[in-house]
Amino acid sequence: MSQEVLEAGAPPKRDGFPAWVAWAIGGVLVVLITLGYALAIGDLVARTVTADRLLTQVEASEAAMKAAQDEFTATIEPYSAGDMTDADREQLRADLADVAARGRDAIAAAGVGVGAVSVLPWQGNIAEAREAYLRHNAAWVAYLDAASQDPDEWFREQRDVNTTFYEARDPLVQALTLFDITRGLDRIKVMYAESGEGGGGGQSA
């Protein structure tokens, strides 16, 4: 076998990076990919926890609204059976004013809880849901504040209460993560199914 044949069959010499450099680059890529996954999982967990905290505070606010409505119903029930005297009317008005004041304070306190939910700067959808629901909470506070001064307000149309309730629904849904391990969507569906118009048990227009 000639020298030319031997040289033609020999593998070509490579002038590329040494093997250790390729291994180092591969190791860096693995670390970066792992870090990327870790950050994504961490963000998912953070969003899930924050959305759950917000929804828990929203549920507390809705419970305060329902409690106010239940107390309103219990207050007027004894007067629904027969004729009312002037003294009865005055007493009922005073009782309804008290119910409104207590409900206002409880709902306002629940609103503080909603507003206190800490949202990271990049969690814009959760911040939007928080602000949307706070508008509903504020509408209820304004409604019951007015009713505490004029009990006839209990029986008047409350467009802001109703409108803000439904305007908050989509932002609350959009604040949930894709996996929704806290069953937030089911909780929102239950809240809206039970509340009807206006939230908190269905204070309707």
Select the more confidently predicted residue: 13 or 82. Answer: 82
Band (198; pLDDT cuts 50, 70, 90): low
Rounded Cα–Cα distance for residues 164 and 134 (Å): 9
Residue 36 has pLDDT above 60, yes or no: no
pTM of the model: 0.77
Q: What is the pLDDT of residues 59-98, one digit of tens each?
A: 999 999 999 999 999 999 988 877 888 898 999 999 999 9
Domain locations along the chain = 17-195
**pLDDT score for 37:** 43
Domain 17-195 has CATH 2.30.29: no
Averaged over 17-46, what is the pLDDT?
58
**pLDDT score for 81:** 75
Q: What is the pLDDT of residues 107-157, one digit of tens each?
A: 999 999 999 999 999 889 999 999 999 999 999 999 999 999 999 999 999
Count of C-beta atoms within a 10 Å radius of residue 172: 25
**pLDDT score for 86:** 85
Q: Tokens for 35, please give them.
A: 């870090």
Residue 188 has pLDDT above 80, yes or no: yes
